[in-house]
Amino acid sequence: MNSDQVTLVGQVFESYVSEYHKNDILLILKERDEDAHYPVVVNAMTLFETNMEIGEYFNMFPSEVLTIFDSALRRSAL
């Protein structure tokens, strides 16, 4: 993926998470165990409807896109 694609995927996912999963992130941040891992379950259909390119990138570059999603979740938590 080129840098423009990485930026787009990150921005779209961060926006999506902020809109659809803000409460999930807030609940995770309130958890006592800072070293535990907590899931954020994303509805892929809703995400891909938000931006169809994200679905295409996810199908072509799943490992890279998941890494971008992880970074976007961290930014959203900040």
pLDDT in tens, 9-33: 999 999 999 999 999 999 988 988 8
- Burial class of 2 by CB neighbour count within 10 A (0 to 12, 13 to 18, 19+): exposed
Residue 58 belongs to domain spanning: 3-77
- Integer Cα distance of 38 and 14 in angstroms: 17
pLDDT at 16: 93
Q: What is the pLDDT, as a whole number, of residue 38?
A: 87
Number of domains in the chain: 1
**Distance of alpha carbon 78 from alpha carbon 74, whole angstroms:** 6
Instruction: Tell whether pTM > 0.85.
Output: no
